[in-house]
């Protein structure tokens, strides 16, 4: 199967799920599942959640490489104390109702509170609570990346000609990237108030400032510290 759309449809049919059942099992909206199966959208964060719901190899679903769900599965020997015959190994537990993974799952990052972003890189800090762990949509520094849920409309662009970050969309922040280039999106701490903000980093002739994408908000020209650079965004399609 050459396309993500064809594989996604075939995997759901093989799992004997309707789109509504797939939504309940994966947390991916039915409208987005429909778009994926029609080929109206490219790779998305929802693919990993769908792979878990359908019990398929996520690499196969994304790229076509690896075993398809109907391929012969690997046999495993019985454990010494299990008293069971060899058989195909399948995970049978029910997935969570929303895309959520165990802390530290490879390829995932914690979705944290804004207040915790200020102390994320503090040496010796206690482990921070995460709302949940979610797949990161971009290449990132393992152990040094987190996700935030966007607040307010200061980074909502006025037109479709530039990237926009509406409220409730999720951004991924790499805390090892603290020397951004002009125009990159950053998380910064304002030195005068310790407020954490999400803005566009601007630098010219030795001057640095923070620029909102929404012209209804004012640029920030006070001293600030860059806490990390935004490397990706997840936004529901509707």
In tens, the pLDDT along 87-140 reads 443 443 344 444 567 887 888 889 999 988 888 776 666 667 788 888 887 788
Shared domain check, 112 and 67: no
For the entire predicted model, the pTM comes to 0.58
Structure confidence at residue 59 as a pLDDT band (50, 70, 90): confident
Shared domain check, 137 and 35: no
Specify if 90 maps to a domain. no
Question: Phi-psi region for residue 180, left (φ > 0), alpha (ψ -120 to 50) or beta?
Answer: beta
Shared domain check, 130 and 204: yes
Beta bridge partners of 202: 209
Give the model's pLDDT for residue 90. Answer: 41
User: Rounded to 5 degrees, what are φ and ψ at 60?
Assistant: -65, -45
Shared domain check, 230 and 124: yes
Helical spans, DSSP H, in 71-227: 114-117
Shared domain check, 36 and 132: no
Q: Which domain holds residue 31?
A: 4-72
Does the structure show a pLDDT above 50 at 172? yes
Which range among 15-24, 37-46, 173-182 shows the weakest confidence by mean pLDDT? 37-46
Question: Phi-psi region for residue 126, left (φ > 0), alpha (ψ -120 to 50) or beta?
Answer: beta
Shared domain check, 122 and 230: yes
Shared domain check, 229 and 161: yes
Q: Residue 164 maps to which CATH number?
A: 2.10.109.10
| Number of folded domains that form the chain | 2
Shared domain check, 216 and 113: yes
Beta bridge partners of 146: 173
Shared domain check, 227 and 119: yes
Nearest to 55 by CA among 18, 98, 25: 25
Specify if 66 maps to a domain. yes
User: Rounded to 5 degrees, what are φ and ψ at 17?
Assistant: -120, 145
Instruction: Identify which has the larger pLDDT, 201 or 48.
Output: 201
Q: What is the spatial distance between Cα 10 and Cα 126, in angstroms, rounded to a whole number?
A: 45
Specify if 79 maps to a domain. no
Percentage with pLDDT > 90 across the chain: 32
């Amino acid at each position: 199967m050459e396309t993500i759309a064809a594989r996604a449809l075939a995997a759901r049919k093989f799992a004997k799920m309707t789109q509504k059942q797939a939504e309940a099992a994966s947390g991916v909206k039915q409208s987005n599942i429909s778009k994926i199966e029609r080929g109206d959208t490219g790779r998305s964060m929802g693919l990993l959640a769908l792979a878990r719901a359908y019990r398929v190899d996520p690499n196969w679903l994304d790229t076509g490489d690896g075993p398809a769900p109907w391929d012969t599965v690997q046999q495993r020997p019985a454990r010494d104390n299990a008293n069971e015959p060899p058989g195909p190994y399948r995970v049978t537990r029910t997935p969570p109702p929303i895309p959520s993974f165990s802390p530290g799952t490879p390829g995932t990052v914690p979705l944290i509170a804004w207040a915790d972003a200020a102390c994320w890189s503090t040496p010796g800090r206690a482990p921070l609570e995460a709302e949940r762990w979610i797949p990161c949509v971009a290449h990132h520094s393992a152990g040094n990346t987190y996700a935030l849920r966007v607040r307010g409309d200061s980074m909502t662009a006025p037109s479709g000609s530039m990237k926009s970050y509406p409220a409730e969309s999720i951004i991924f922040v790499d805390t090892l990237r603290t020397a951004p280039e002009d125009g990159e999106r950053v998380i910064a701490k304002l030195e005068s108030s310790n407020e954490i903000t999400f803005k566009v980093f601007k630098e010219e002739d030795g001057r640095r400032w923070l620029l909102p994408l929404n012209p209804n908000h004012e640029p920030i020209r006070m001293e600030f510290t860059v806490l990390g650079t935004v490397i990706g965004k997840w936004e529901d399609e509707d």
